[in-house]
């Protein structure tokens, strides 16, 4: 899907100077915010940005400081799942 947006020329020049240019900067910003809000998964971020691996995606999200809240309940569920999976 193609999307057209208007941004001020001075901001466009700043974004154009970044690696990948304006389109890439906007695409990355949309991906980060969609991930932060829980609208898309890391796999969808990878697909959206054309990244080559899960690790490249994780690195991108770390650089963008895009983290999901990881609660104590999440930890307890993960520990229970690991214990269940390790039982013969």
| Residue 4 within any structural domain of the chain | no
Share of the chain above pLDDT 90, in %: 56
| Residue 1 within any structural domain of the chain | no
What value does the mean pLDDT take over residues 24-33?
Answer: 93
Angle, helices 9-16 vs 21-37, to 10°: value is 90
| Residue 18 within any structural domain of the chain | yes
| Residue 49 within any structural domain of the chain | yes
- The CA–CA distances, whole Å, from 81 to 42, 72, 74, 77 equal 21, 14, 11, 6
Which tens digit of pLDDT belongs to each residue from 36-79?
998 999 999 999 999 999 999 999 999 999 987 778 888 898 89
Give the pLDDT score at 65: 93
| Residue 2 within any structural domain of the chain | no
| Residue 60 within any structural domain of the chain | yes
| Residue 40 within any structural domain of the chain | yes
| Residue 67 within any structural domain of the chain | yes
Residue 27 has pLDDT above 90, yes or no: yes
Which domain range does residue 16 map to?
9-86
Alpha carbons 2 and 71: distance in angstroms, whole number? 37
Query: How many domains, in total, are found in the chain?
Result: 1
């Amino acid at each position: 899907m193609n999307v057209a947006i208007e941004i001020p020329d001075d901001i466009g020049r700043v974004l154009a100077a970044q690696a990948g240019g304006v389109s890439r900067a906007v695409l990355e910003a949309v991906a980060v915010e969609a991930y932060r809000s829980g609208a898309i998964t890391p796999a969808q971020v990878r697909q959206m940005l054309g990244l080559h691996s899960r690790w490249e995606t994780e690195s991108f999200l770390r650089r963008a400081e895009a983290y999901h809240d990881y609660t104590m309940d999440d930890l307890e569920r993960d520990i229970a799942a690991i214990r269940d999976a390790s039982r013969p």
